[in-house]
Amino acid sequence: MKEELSIVGRRVPRWGAYDKATGTAKYTVDIKLPGMLIGKVLTSPHPHARIIRIDKSKAEKLPGVEAVISFEDIPPKLFAPNRHDLILYHTENERKDMYVISEKARFVGDRVAAVAAVDAATAQKALELIEVKYEVLPAVLDPVEAVKPGAPRIHDYAENNVSLHLDFPLSMGDVEKGFREADFVLEETFRTSKQQIAQLEPCACAASFGPDGRLTIWSPAQGTFLFRTKLAELFDMPEGMIKWITLHVGGSFGKFGSLSVEPVCVALAKKAGKPVKIEYSREEDFSGTEARQTYVATGKMGVKKDGTITALQEKLVVDGGAYFTRNSTTTMLNMCGFTGLYRCPSVAAEADCVYTNVPTTGGIRGYGNSEATCALEQLIDRAAKEIGMDPIQLRLKNIKKAGDLDNKGLPMETCTLEELIKLGAEKTGWAEKRARKKQKGTKRYGIGMAIMMDLSGSHPAAIQHRNAYIKLNEDGSANLMVMAYDMGQNMPGACAQIAAEVLGVRYEDIHVVTGDTDSTMFDTGSGGSAGCYQVGNAVMKAAEEARKQLLDRAGKRLGLAPDELEVKDRRIYAKSDPRRGISVGEVARQATYNFEGEHLNISGKGSFSPTQSPPPFAAVFAEVEVDVETAEVKILKILYINDSGRVINPATVEGQVEGGIAQSVGYCLTEDYVINKETGVLESDNFTTYKIPSTLDMPETEVILYEEPVPSGPFGAKAVGHGTMNAVTPAIANAIYDAVGVFITDMPATPERIFEALRR
Amino acid sequence: MVKKEIVSFKINGRSYEVIVTPNMTLYELLKEQLDLTGTKRSCGVGECGSCTVLVDGNPTLACSTLAIAVRDKEILTIEGLAKGAQLHPLQQAFVDEGAIQCGFCTPGMIMMAKALLDENPQPTRQEVREGLGGNLCRCTGYVKIIDAVLAAAETMRKGGSQ
């Protein structure tokens, strides 16, 4: 491999930047097909109710209405809206518990009917004409209540509403012995909040059947091929009869790792015999699509006076909402996160995943690990206080090193936690700030920190298989066909940089074709920050194969062996004599247009199935000011030191981190998911009642990209986006603890909660 | 039946005559009648700023404005900002500074920033923060968006490329 990189590591414009800046980028909500109908979904106003009867006749008679569907119009098949039952090695941990349209409503917002009509107003009118007779059932909205004897049963199969009990497979040692050996044992129950994704493009989908019965579907879903298989199963179609297109996606953050309105949209299009589009309102998006799970996590830590952690134990009650969706994977990753960040001889974890009559949850950015890190990193600061040790020293004593097993039980190729912590301590002036004299006034300063270890995709839990195909054009540019659709994380751009670097052409010479199951090869989809590491590796292999063909052809022209050649800046030349060379374009053109025979479209195919999931690392430092009179928290600064291995595009990686900080600031302080305790209605269902950070809510942030290339990554790159939700929240919480001495165990840390804690 | 009428609009320097209903919003006019899909709707009730366009130079939420209310006024949307292939300095700065991720907030953000710079060509970082306070973004954390607006202001002060 070339040592000097010319394109990888550069701040080139992200893929699609010009389209997005000029308003020409097309999203699912922008689709307009000839003769297209507008679909709308009728949802349950009750958190738990049996549907006795649905009368659709009045709606069907309304002029302009072309299809009305309810439970009886849908294939009677239970399915799992997420894709994991297709790829997880432990499929016994998955649950098929959902119908495309419910036979029984299990939360306010559950789908009970749908219509397609000539325009939105007619569709809305038709919804109002559907008469549903419900038998209202007692509901349970809280996971702790849901498991108590006598609680209403939400799914017939799930006794005590427990959908899955998980014993952590990587438990080891003897935690009871570990707690006996400890000088201090801390135990605390944390309750994390159900964060809304609040991606700006509302959930949308369009579906159209061709005259040959072939279905084209436009959807933002993360996992096109797997969802194609799901639709094929649901509608009894071969996969080849479905073409799945993902356009630009206006944010996903894991939400579209599950199907949402796609099956309803397909069912409407099928019944109407015309294209149908569904676009949710913000309120429908908030109540009808997935949010983060609520974890009630009881964490227990044993620690010796010298700072050695002797045992870690976690007991979880996971509120998954009305359907199972992603409960097993998120819960498993939570356990990995809690038990796997530090060296510890005895770890154990178990969980009950629980149904409640609240909106569904999914696998949201940082899933599981965010909640685990939030609990663990606060316990560390409390332990540090108990033994009178600086929290940084306590961390340094227990952190893992390269060669140790990571949080998923895989040997780590690199581990920079020690370097990141020390760099942050130096940058912030940690020692002096922690040793400061405690203030007496109403405004109290505090500094806290937290670390995290994440993942680069779902290996070893699930099948991960990525493919890329690259072909040279006659001018020496190349088309890269890869399922690297863009949800904002700029995966196509990173892939283009990797391909350009290998092929020795310019970034703008790589034309990425993506998001279309017809023109790209199979792919298990993005999720858990798998993209850059996994797809990047497939792209690298594809480009290397094309490069080999390119150098072979050039070598023949120049009378040199391929290994005597180098390619850079669109020119192939002799290593020994750079003046002796030929342009990439000339070789590519001659390979196709020649009259001597031996025609070749220079191309390459790359496949990648990982044997690693190298964790990115971070150390985050937060400085806050807490007003003890108003209980308001002002974040003064956040320093985020990130190791994502080799950085392909610094602007992209910084952007991912900065965005993760913003989502964490909201998660930690303002984003409060409120369900009405009487009615089960989601009250925080818009941007006024559910407060995501604006420019004015964001503190000063500094991002440092610490690069330690990971050997198994493309040019040494690994993941970034997913893990950015993990360490900011506990860093802020620890800073609040440092400022005013109170722990906030229920998130978000609203002024009300801080005020209450201060009074205690 | 809702009463319809033919109304003329001036959008991005071009005149249109459109059959509108009294309850049609400016957003619906742009997207559904004229296929100008660059303007985005995220909340539909004026909370997020995604649908910001300029009406006679003033930032206006297209989702919460009736089409009839802007008849005969000069409407500028994201599609009308570049001059041919020449991007507006704000557009160029958003590309160059990495201020775009999913891009759904970008058109509204750029239009709001244009209104801000038209009013105050030399804003401080704090003034940009305040000026964009009503435009939500879920991806970027705003750092590079604010950088881009300040960079564009600099370009425009130097008489830059537009």
The whole domain housing A568 covers: 17-24+465-608
Instruction: Tell me: cis bond preceding A460? Omega within 30 of 0 counts.
Output: yes
Buried b (16+ CB within 10 A) or exposed e, A690-717: bbbbbbebbbebebbbbbbbbebbbbbb
Residue A541 lies in a domain: yes
Residue of B nearest to A286 (CA): B43
CB contact under 8 A, B136 and A488: no
> What is the pLDDT, as a whole number, of residue B160?
65
A407 vs B132: CA distance, rounded Å: 40
**Do residues A650 and A713 both lie within one domain?**
yes
CB contact under 8 A, B101 and A29: no
Give tens-digit pLDDT for A284-334.
Answer: 999 999 999 999 999 999 999 999 999 999 999 999 999 999 999 999 999
**Range(s) for CATH 3.10.20.30 in chain B?**
5-80
Residue A172 lies in a domain: no
Nearest CA to A364 out of A484, A532, A487, A217 is that of A487
Residue of A nearest to B139 (CA): A659
CB contact under 8 A, B139 and A655: yes
**CATH classification of the domain holding A304:** 3.30.365.10
The pLDDT > 90 percentage for chain B reads 95
Q: Does B22 touch chain A (CB under 8 A)?
A: no
Give tens-digit pLDDT for A648-660.
Answer: 999 999 999 999 9
Band the pLDDT of A222: cuts 50, 70, 90.
confident
Residue of A nearest to B84 (CA): A22
Asked whether the CA dihedral A388, A393, A395, A398 is positive or negative, the reply is: negative
Give tens-digit pLDDT for A252-288.
Answer: 999 999 999 999 999 999 999 999 999 999 999 999 9
**Do residues A655 and A586 both lie within one domain?**
no
Size of interface A-B (CB pairs under 8 A): 166
Q: Does A14 touch chain B (CB under 8 A)?
A: yes
The burial of A576, by beta-carbon neighbours within 10 Å (0-12 exposed, 13-18 middle, 19 or more buried), is given as exposed
A571: Cβ contacts below 8 Å, ≥ 6 apart: A504, A581, A582, A583, A584
Span B5-80: which CATH code? 3.10.20.30
Asked whether the CA dihedral A518, A520, A522, A527 is positive or negative, the reply is: negative
Residue A494 lies in a domain: yes
Give tens-digit pLDDT for A662-681.
Answer: 999 999 999 999 999 999 99
CB contact under 8 A, A701 and B38: no
Contacts of residue A668 in chain B, CB cutoff 8 Å? none
CB contact under 8 A, B45 and A26: no
> What is the pLDDT, as a whole number, of residue A439?
84
End-to-end CA distance of chain A: 61
Band the pLDDT of A437: cuts 50, 70, 90.
confident
CB B150 within 8 A of CB B90: no
C-alpha distance from B72 to closest chain A C-alpha (Å): 23
Contacts of residue B96 in chain A, CB cutoff 8 Å? 13
Give tens-digit pLDDT for A70-114.
Answer: 998 998 899 999 998 999 999 999 999 999 999 899 999 999 999
Give tens-digit pLDDT for A452-484.
Answer: 999 999 999 999 999 999 999 999 999 999 999
Torsion of the alpha carbons at A571, A574, A578 and A583, rounded to the nearest 10: -20
CB contact under 8 A, A22 and B91: yes
Mutate to test the interface with A, among B139, B144, B149 (most CBs of A within 10 A): B139
Contacts of residue B98 in chain A, CB cutoff 8 Å? 11, 13-14, 651-652, 654-655
B62 vs B70: CA distance, rounded Å: 10
Which residue shows structure tokens 């356990």?
A: A335
Band the pLDDT of B161: cuts 50, 70, 90.
low
CB contact under 8 A, A18 and B95: yes
> What is the pLDDT, as a whole number, of residue A427?
98
- In the predicted model, is pLDDT for residue A526 greater than 90? no
> What is the pLDDT, as a whole number, of residue A1?
44
Arithmetic mean of pLDDT over chain A: 96
Band the pLDDT of A438: cuts 50, 70, 90.
confident
Contacts of residue B130 in chain A, CB cutoff 8 Å? 695-696
Picking from A16, A487, A687, the nearest residue to B136 by CB comes out as: A687
ipTM value: 0.98
CB contact under 8 A, A687 and B146: no
Nearest CA to B102 out of A200, A511, A365 is that of A200
C-alpha distance from B138 to closest chain A C-alpha (Å): 6
The burial of A58, by beta-carbon neighbours within 10 Å (0-12 exposed, 13-18 middle, 19 or more buried), is given as middle
Give tens-digit pLDDT for A120-165.
Answer: 999 999 999 999 999 999 999 999 999 999 999 999 999 999 999 9
CB contact under 8 A, A488 and B79: no
A41 vs A10: CA distance, rounded Å: 46
Q: Does A13 touch chain B (CB under 8 A)?
A: yes
B window 28-67, beta carbon within 8 A of A: 31, 35-45, 47-48, 50
A437 vs A591: CA distance, rounded Å: 74
SS (H, E, C) B94-131: HHHCCCCCCCCCHHHHHHHHHHHHHHCCCCCHHHHHHH
Q: Which residues pair with B59 in a beta bridge?
A: B54
A261 vs A258: CA distance, rounded Å: 10
Band the pLDDT of A2: cuts 50, 70, 90.
very low
Picking from B81, B91, B141, the nearest residue to A658 by CB comes out as: B141
Return the structure tokens found at A22: 């000029």
Residue A174 lies in a domain: no
Mutate to test the interface with A, among B27, B78, B102, B125 (most CBs of A within 10 A): B102
Concatenating the DSSP letter of every residue in A136-150 gives E------HHHHTSTT
Give tens-digit pLDDT for B8-64.
Answer: 999 999 999 999 999 999 999 999 999 999 999 999 999 999 999 999 999 999 999
Nearest CA to A119 out of A65, A59, A60 is that of A65
Q: Does A26 touch chain B (CB under 8 A)?
A: yes
**Do residues A125 and A44 both lie within one domain?**
yes
Q: Which residues pair with A39 in a beta bridge?
A: A116, A278
Among residues A608, A630, A648, which one ends one of the domains?
A608
Give tens-digit pLDDT for A701-727.
Answer: 999 999 999 999 999 999 999 999 999
**Do residues A617 and A755 both lie within one domain?**
yes
Return the structure tokens found at A227: 């969802």
CB contact under 8 A, A23 and B37: yes
CB contact under 8 A, B42 and A282: yes
Nearest CA to A205 out of A57, A104, A81, A78 is that of A81
The burial of A519, by beta-carbon neighbours within 10 Å (0-12 exposed, 13-18 middle, 19 or more buried), is given as middle
A602 vs A177: CA distance, rounded Å: 63
CB contact under 8 A, B144 and A655: yes
Residue A192 lies in a domain: no
Residue of B nearest to A697 (CA): B133
Nearest CA to A278 out of A199, A197, A222, A207 is that of A207
> What is the pLDDT, as a whole number, of residue A485?
87
Please give the tally of structural domains in chain A: 3
Other Cβ atoms within 10 Å of A68 Cβ, number:
28
**Range(s) for CATH 1.10.150.120 in chain B?**
89-157
Rg (CA), chain B: 16
A277 vs A266: CA distance, rounded Å: 9
Give the three-class secondary structure for A314. Answer: strand
A155, HSE (Cβ side, Cα atoms, 13 Å): 21
Which residue shows structure tokens 């998130």?
A: A747
Give the three-class secondary structure for A385. Answer: helix
Average pLDDT over residues A428-436: 96
**Do residues A561 and A655 both lie within one domain?**
no
Mutate to test the interface with A, among B138, B142, B147 (most CBs of A within 10 A): B138
A30 vs A34: CA distance, rounded Å: 13
CB B104 within 8 A of CB B136: no
> What is the pLDDT, as a whole number, of residue A585?
98
**Do residues A343 and A400 both lie within one domain?**
yes
Other Cβ atoms within 10 Å of A636 Cβ, number:
14
Residue of A nearest to B94 (CA): A21
A304 vs A326: CA distance, rounded Å: 37
A184 vs A394: CA distance, rounded Å: 14
**Do residues A341 and A369 both lie within one domain?**
yes
Picking from B35, B50, B110, the nearest residue to A200 by CB comes out as: B50
Q: Does B149 touch chain A (CB under 8 A)?
A: no
Residue A448 lies in a domain: yes
Q: Does A150 touch chain B (CB under 8 A)?
A: no
**Do residues A591 and A682 both lie within one domain?**
no
Contacts of residue B38 in chain A, CB cutoff 8 Å? 22-24
Asked whether the CA dihedral A140, A141, A145, A146 is positive or negative, the reply is: positive
Q: Does B102 touch chain A (CB under 8 A)?
A: yes
A window 677-716, beta carbon within 8 A of B: 686-688, 692, 694-696, 698, 701
Picking from A23, A660, A701, the nearest residue to B107 by CB comes out as: A23
Rg (CA), chain A: 27
A window 247-266, beta carbon within 8 A of B: 248-251, 253
Q: Does A523 touch chain B (CB under 8 A)?
A: no
C-alpha distance from B144 to closest chain A C-alpha (Å): 7
C-alpha distance from B76 to closest chain A C-alpha (Å): 12
Give tens-digit pLDDT for A359-378.
Answer: 999 999 999 999 999 999 99
Phi, psi of B9 (to 5 degrees): -130, 150
Picking from A18, A19, A27, the nearest residue to B104 by CB comes out as: A27
Identity of residue A346: S
Residue of B nearest to A17 (CA): B95
Torsion of the alpha carbons at A626, A632, A636 and A641, rounded to the nearest 10: 90
A72: Cβ contacts below 8 Å, ≥ 6 apart: none
B window 106-145, beta carbon within 8 A of A: 106-107, 110, 128-130, 132-145
The CATH superfamily of B89-157 is [2Fe-2S]-binding domain (1.10.150.120)
**Do residues A82 and A113 both lie within one domain?**
yes
Residue A511 lies in a domain: yes
Residue A332 lies in a domain: yes
The burial of A579, by beta-carbon neighbours within 10 Å (0-12 exposed, 13-18 middle, 19 or more buried), is given as exposed
Contacts of residue B91 in chain A, CB cutoff 8 Å? 21-22
CB contact under 8 A, A27 and B44: no
SS (H, E, C) A248-311: ECCCCCCHHHECCCHHHHHHHHHHHCCCEEEECCHHHHHHHCCECCEEEEEEEEEECCCCCEEE
Which residue shows structure tokens 């909340």?
A: B43
Enclosing H/E stretch for A104: strand A104-105
Mutate to test the interface with B, among A200, A653, A661, A700 (most CBs of B within 10 A): A200
| Own/partner pairs, A208-213, CB within 8 angstroms, 24+ separation | A208/A33, A208/A36, A208/A269, A208/A274, A208/A275, A208/A276, A209/A269, A209/A270, A209/A273, A213/A241
CB contact under 8 A, A27 and B141: no
**CATH classification of the domain holding A44:** 3.90.1170.50
